[in-house]
Amino acid sequence: MMPSQHADDTPAKVWFITGTSTGLGRALAEEVIADGHRLVATARDTSTLDDLVAQAPDRVRALPLDVTDPAAVRLAVDTAVKEFGGIDVLVNNAGYALRGALEEVSDTELRRQFDTNVFGALDVTRAVLPTLRAQRSGCIVQISSVGGVMATLGGTAYAGTKFALEGLSEGLAAEVAPFGIHVLIVEPGPFRTDFTGRSVRWADPIDDYRSALDPAKKQFQAMHGTQPGDPARAARAVITATQMEKPPLRLPLGANAVDRIRERLQQRLQEVDTVESLGRPTDFDS
C-alpha cells in the first residue's frame, strides 16, 4: 500500500496503539486519525473500535489483541506491517491498575498485573522492533505513570510494573538509538478516564491495613470523573513529542505529574546527600 499524505504534505505515519477502547489510548487514536495518519487500533473486543474505523475507513484498521497472548501479538503486528507497509510509532498503552497492600495481593493477581503491564508491553515491543530496525527509524511510546517514579499507598503492585517498564525502556532506548529509533516514556498524572473506575481492580482487604489504606482508597475513588487531566490535550502532547527531532526520554503529563515528579527527584537528591557519608567510604582504599 502506498503511503498517504499528511495534512502538511509529509507522508502520513503508521501508528500501532494497544488498548484503544477507552482512556488515553482512545484519545490518542482519535488525535492520530484527525491528524491524517494511518492507525492500527487494537483492543480485546474490536467492536469497541467501530466508531474509530468509521472516521477514516481507508486509514484505520481495527485488530483484536490481548497483549498477554504472544500468538495474538505477532499476528497483529504481522497484519499491520502487511497492510500498511510498516510501523512508525508503537504505543504500548494497554494496562490496568491493581490496588491493595502487597500482602493483600494474591500471587495470581500480581502475575496477571505484570503479565499485562510489563511483559505484554515488552512482547509487543519485541515483535515490532525488527520492522523498526529494518526501517532505521521509528518511535516506541511506553505509557508509564507518575507511579513509575513513586509508589503511593495502595498502588504498590501497579508502581512495581511501571518502575519495571521505565527501567527496561531506558535500557532499550540506548540499545536502539544507533538504528534511529527513539523511546518515549510517558508519565501521566490523574486524567479524566476510566482508570479510577472500570480499569481498576481491588485486592481482598486484610483488616490490619484498613486504617492506612481505606483513606487512600476513598481518595482514589473520589477522583473518578474529576481528574484535572484532559485526555485530548495529553494525546496532542504525545504526538508533538514523537514529531520532535530528538524526542525526550520521559514526558510527564499534567501539572500534577510535573510537580510530584520534580518533588520526588529533589527528595532523592536530598537522600543521597544525607547518606553520602555512610555510603561513599565503602570502596576499597586506593
pLDDT in tens, 261-270: 999 999 999 9
Q: How confident is the model at residue 22 (pLDDT cuts 50, 70, 90)?
A: confident
Place of cell 520492522: 131
User: Quick one: which of 172, 60, 163 has its CA closest to 125?
Assistant: 172
pLDDT number for residue 200: 77
pLDDT of residue 6: 56
Q: How does DSSP assign 37-59, residue by residue?
A: -EEEEEESSGGGGHHHHHH-TTT
pLDDT band at 218 (very low <50, low <70, confident <90, very high): confident
In 3D, which of 164, 234, 163 has the Cα closest to residue 195?
234
Quote the DSSP letter at residue 120. Answer: I
Q: Which domains does the chain have, with CATH numbers?
A: 14-278 (3.40.50.720)
175 half-sphere exposure, CB direction, 13 A CA radius: 12
Q: What's the predicted TM-score (pTM) here?
A: 0.91
**Binning pLDDT at 50, 70 and 90, where does residue 191 land?**
confident
How would residue 195 be classed by pLDDT, with cut points 50, 70 and 90?
low
Query: What is the residue type of 237?
Result: A
The count of other CB atoms within 10 Å of the CB of residue 133 is 15
Going 171 to 177 to 180 to 186, the CA torsion angle's sign is positive
39: number of Cβ within 10 Å: 30
The string of pLDDT tens digits covering residues 76-90 is: 999 999 999 999 999
Q: How confident is the model at residue 1, as a pLDDT?
A: 43
The yes-or-no verdict on residue 5 having pLDDT over 60 is no
2 pLDDT exceeds 50?
A: no
Q: Does 5 or 286 have the greater pLDDT score?
A: 286
- Active-site residue list: 144, 158, 162
Whether residue 212 is predicted with pLDDT greater than 80 in this model: the reply is yes
